[in-house]
Structure 1
């Protein structure tokens, strides 16, 4: 008899672990680790997949893209969810360990920048955003009537979102930035801090009105001087939002036969509908 066991730890733990379990043998037991951006989507997909495939169990944990990739290198995962491509160093490590990989790009996401609901600004340009995150601007006075100091809530360096934002803005993050372990912790911190700013996966917040309470999602003013929201699905489809990106799954060749039914499910009509209903975007 199939059963679903979900464990949602407190937001201050280093990872999220969810077990979707059935009467599975080792050939149908999948371990998926990595990106905190992708973890909610992975859970939604795994839940629906397990309804049609009672002989599979899928264990899912977040904690960051880098952690998932490391788990692959150590033989501790079948799928690494990653919100960034592999680095040159990681590619070399997989070659050294003779671990051939398959890469699946199964969805697209946008990174949202959030402030406290009482912050008067609604949008921000790329220059100001870069100067805030690298510490050049340390007060909200330039952008509003508030003289509050700016508090940055970001991710650890193992996070794909951390690497993505750093690369897109061509910055080094301020040493004063507070390193959070995931989307939930960033959002809760910004809700409680009128001076706060943070960045999270847009898919994490777009379909959950409870998560959106207490925060404001900023529109990003791009190089064409157009303000675009990461929650504007049409803008994402037209590739007009500056901080949008593909989402990856890296799979060792040795695990491919086992995980291929799940990957196929992600790509079928039901899987694509789930991706979109979860607040993410289908790769066309």
Structure 2
């Protein structure tokens, strides 16, 4: 089935999958527990999904933890959780660990995020940053100690840096984009809790930090987002729903995922929760400060679940990393199990 056709039947397909039996009957009879852990970036979406689902199905307990993308995959790949929240695709070593444990999984994109750089609200000199200037601040090679070292004319105030912890998928994504094969500096204040980063930046006039756009939207009264110069357009672009979706907020637009244990998916409570999640994902993404994916992607995700299509689209058969827009990569042709 072509993606366009999938998009046209997506709402009906999802609703049918969710409501195999009458909803009222399931309200009273569906029992069990769904265990989720992983990304702090994806947490607000999963928590919102859990909250809505348990209102409809009060006898199902949904636990949502926050141990970072890497920490979540450590638990997921040994069968400790049913669902792993991830702000980046699964890595080759995590894929191998899952395979060694006999864990097969569904890879389901749920939203777009724009990794957002923020400074203190009173900062009146940083209006935008180029990727090269970001490298000066965050990499071991650049390691700027003052703002004056980043751009001529900026104050000689010392830079205070706040960043996600190394178990975070946001850290991994930022490192890949900014440092490549190099390293991020070691003297940053780090935390797996994005709220700690918000507190750090908002309490330090010379600070800079980064996290998912939703945490900025929640705290925009005390933080200032920094426009990023798009390398191709050579123009500063701020993180908005439109620029994140159309990709002009480059290079920091990215998809967010949930990974579902295929064995767990056979349990009625997990199957219904995942169906609910995908059905509500566009609405939940918007409500939590993220951006909905195209309908074709959600339809393809549910088609994977219905058809038992497990594996990842982000690794090749040789376990090399595969990159590209989610709309191009997330097709049956790229699936590797």
TM-score interval for Structure 1 and Structure 2 normalised by the shorter chain? 0.7 to 0.9
Q: Quick check: 2:103–2:262 contact (8 Å CA) kept in 1?
A: yes
Q: How far apart are residue 24 of structure 1 and its match?
A: 8.7
- How many angstroms apart in 2 are the aligned matches of 1:53 and 1:257? 17
**The structure with more strand, counted as a fraction of residues:** 1
Structure 2 counterpart of 1:124: 129
Equivalent pairs counted in the alignment come to: 257
- Structure 1 unmatched ranges of 5 or more: 1-21
The answer on 1:193 being equivalent to 2:201 is no
Structure 2 counterpart of 1:139: 146
**The structure with more helix, counted as a fraction of residues:** 2
Structure 2 counterpart of 1:262: 273
The answer on 1:150 being equivalent to 2:159 is yes
Aligned to 1:212, the other structure's residue is in SS state coil
Q: How far apart are residue 214 of structure 1 and its match?
A: 2.3
CA offsets 1:177-206 (integer angstroms, 9 cap, x no match): 122222111110011111211101102232
- How many angstroms apart in 2 are the aligned matches of 1:140 and 1:48? 45
- Give TM-score, length-normalised by structure 1: 0.85
- Structure 2 unmatched ranges of 5 or more: 1-26, 295-337
Q: Please give the root-mean-square deviation of Cα atoms over the aligned residues, in Å.
A: 1.8
Distance 1:73 1:23, change over 3 A: farther
Q: How far apart are residue 83 of structure 1 and its match?
A: 0.5
Q: How far apart are residue 29 of structure 1 and its match?
A: 0.4
Q: How far apart are residue 23 of structure 1 and its match?
A: 8.9
- How many angstroms apart in 2 are the aligned matches of 1:81 and 1:24? 27
- How many angstroms apart in 1 are the aligned matches of 2:53 and 2:238? 31
- Give TM-score, length-normalised by structure 2: 0.72
Q: Quick check: 1:191–1:215 contact (8 Å CA) kept in 2?
A: yes
From 241, 252, 258, the counterpart of 1:233: 241
Q: Quick check: 1:34–1:63 contact (8 Å CA) kept in 2?
A: yes
The answer on 1:282 being equivalent to 2:292 is yes
From 196, 202, 206, the counterpart of 2:213: 202
Q: How far apart are residue 53 of structure 1 and its match?
A: 1.9
Point out the structure with max Rg over C-alpha: 2
Q: Quick check: 1:31–1:58 contact (8 Å CA) kept in 2?
A: yes
Q: How far apart are residue 28 of structure 1 and its match?
A: 2.2
Q: How far apart are residue 79 of structure 1 and its match?
A: 0.4
Q: How far apart are residue 34 of structure 1 and its match?
A: 0.4
- How many angstroms apart in 2 are the aligned matches of 1:39 and 1:52? 20
Structure 2 counterpart of 1:215: 223
